[in-house]
A and B are shown apart, each in its own frame.
Chain A
């Protein structure tokens, strides 16, 4: 699996794609593979403030509930409504199935995140 090089990644297996102050967030291919069939996604409403490192929602597979951790701080501007009725889209294409769009509070927060290459290495080392 090649991880898009224009995305940044967290150790909690989220990805973020930023364009200035506008960012899109989702979970990685590795995350959906570990979870198995995703059957439920809980996402914040537009207007919600999310804080870097804090949970902003959850994703559920048949067997387990997993929290989603914010890669960066900001305000939610858009939520992917498809995922409420078709959460399996994340399994089919995790890097394309975005969850939320945010206006970033501080784009510099992304400097601390992993590049695609670093994330791939991290996943390999995790033994995943």
Chain B
């Protein structure tokens, strides 16, 4: 496909497809129409059995008991210190049947963690990462594209719910209305055999032609998720950052039965935060990038940028950064050190971008 490739956590991934117009064109196609991503590098862990829910509840911070069959939720697996093993989307596929979709770079670590911390529960834990090719179809036209390829009634599937359908002759394919772009869209899980997945990709591309579908790489994936304030492991979340600092406590249900990391987070709530994740928008010229230092007005180092970039849809330079709580108020100004010079930035509300509300 003429993609520019790059190594990402042991995978050869496309950064962008020049023939599609590059990162900016791919990004805006997702915001305005539809873009497709091969996200097979993501991992999949299935928990099945009489105590599958109890197992999930033990390792995941969100409350999976709220999930109806066919429903999904964003969550995270935590270490006892309340820091992140990984973030995850928990899908309830059946009565005692849960699928965790996790990040590429943490597949092995996550599977070992899940297996080792659920031994006491009567449930089977399977690593299905190599069984699936995951294709993401994202953007306002995504539902129209995918509907051409399946008999499943996609308009009946609400955001963060799943269904099954036949796609390109493949039966019983898991179809989730989830994504990492801050747009409406779907992620489909097809068998990983190369011929099969290549065939599906081709059909998706073909079906999308009338909508101006654009194949998208990692570059656009990153700018899209950044505009939507979606965390990236190793950046906003990691094994040294806790849930409260990362401002993901709304996905952490302290009132549910005990889970790994709960007591540490209770203590942290009382102790108070040393740092907090904020959104920044550059006021002076310059692009704040991953790892750049954040300074106060006098030039003293106070934090760092976790992710930063030019935002193609918003046409601004934005970033996420950790700063001490006293700098965390919207409207505060800080500086970002860009090639030795401090450039002013302002703390803004996140997400930077929210997709327009539609009826149905």
| A residues lining the B interface (CB < 8 Å) | 33, 36-37, 39-40, 42, 58, 60-63, 65, 84
Contacts and interface: CB of A to CB of B under 8 A. Distances in A.
B339 A58 contact: yes
A37 B24 contact: yes
A61 B16 CA distance: 12
Nearest to A60: B287
26 contacts: A33-B18, A36-B4, A36-B22, A36-B23, A37-B22, A37-B25, A37-B312, A39-B24, A39-B287, A39-B310, A40-B287, A40-B310, A42-B285, A42-B339, A58-B339, A61-B23, A62-B24, A62-B219, A62-B223, A62-B310, A63-B15, A63-B23, A63-B219, A63-B309, A65-B287, A84-B285
Given A40-B310, A62-B312, 16 more contacts: A36-B18, A36-B22, A37-B23, A39-B24, A39-B287, A39-B310, A40-B285, A40-B287, A40-B317, A42-B286, A42-B339, A60-B287, A60-B310, A62-B23, A62-B309, A65-B287
Contact of B219 (A33, A36, A42): A36
A39 B4 CA distance: 18
B289 interface: yes
A80 B143 CA distance: 45
Nearest to B6: A63
Interface of B: 4, 15-16, 18, 22-25, 219, 223, 285-287, 289, 309-310, 312, 317, 339
A36 B16 contact: yes
Contacts of B219: 36, 62-63
A63 B339 CA distance: 16
Contact of A40 (B4, B15, B223, B286): B286
